[in-house]
Amino acid sequence: MGDSGPQPLTPDATTGAACASGVAPQDSTGAWGGGLAVDFNASGASGGTKGIWDARAYGGVAFDFSGTMIPAHGLRVGFVFAGQGSAGPPTYQGTAQPYSTLADGTHVVIHWDAVGGPNGAPAPVLFDPSKLQTMQIQVLGSASGPTPYQFCVANLTALPD
């Protein structure tokens, strides 16, 4: 995401964490920012065709989250799925608020029933875990100025149903 477009992430050799850092540009529309994403079933190298992962056999996902610059109310965890429509991907806690609550040093557990929205969309669609493609943690642009960020995700796992 951002000006350079999608780039492959190499997890840290010691911790296995994938980290993102940078500065999300000033933006009042929420269309620009930064972050990291995981394609669950992509073919080929970076930029390959996104596949579909049927995640109905699982109850959700979990991961360890940490960071030194975590924007308050400025992150969202989105779940892109095939056929989601133009409103954008539903997000973790997306039916209640436009951001996902994430804090340094936490083990985040996301059950599929906590994924919805996106918040404020005129006609959001229901999340369909049978057509899951990508999980993305996005840093939202802010109208008040650029937003620096640094965070890491480790130990991403699918939850037993």
Kindly state whether residue 76 falls inside one of the protein's structural domains: yes
> Is residue 1 in a domain?
no
The mean of the pLDDT values for the chain is 84
Query: Could you tell me if 44 and 139 are in contact, meaning their C-beta atoms sit under 8 angstroms apart?
Result: no
Is residue 7 scored above 90 in pLDDT?
no
Residue 57 backbone dihedrals phi, psi, to 5 degrees: -75, -5
**For residue 46, how many other CB atoms are within 10 A of its CB?**
11
Q: How does residue 2 score in pLDDT terms, banded at 50, 70 and 90?
A: very low
- Establish if 119 belongs to a structural domain: yes
Domain that holds residue 127: 22-160
Question: What's the total number of domains in the chain?
Answer: 1
Question: Which segment, 16-30, 40-54, 103-117, 138-152, is predicted with the most confidence on average?
Answer: 103-117
Which pLDDT tens digit goes with each residue over 106-145?
Answer: 999 999 999 998 888 888 778 999 999 999 999 887 778 8
73 DSSP 8-state letter? T
pLDDT bin (cut points 50, 70, 90) of residue 152 is very high
Per the model's pLDDT, the better-predicted residue between 124 and 45 turns out to be 124
In a domain, 16, yes or no: no
99, part of any domain: yes
Residue 134 lies in a domain: yes
- The reported pLDDT for the residue numbered 32 is 64
CB of 150 within 8 A of CB of 68?
Answer: yes
Residue 97 lies in a domain: yes
Model pTM? Answer: 0.86
Look up the CATH number of the domain holding residue 91: 2.60.120
Give the contacts of 95 (CB within 8 A, at least 6 positions apart).
116, 117, 119, 124
Mean pLDDT of 50-71: 93
Q: Does 10 map to a domain?
A: no
Span 38-61, average pLDDT: 83
Q: Nearest CA to 127 among 82, 158, 161?
A: 82
pLDDT at residue 4 tops 60: no
Any idea which residue has 């929205």 for tokens?
A: 117
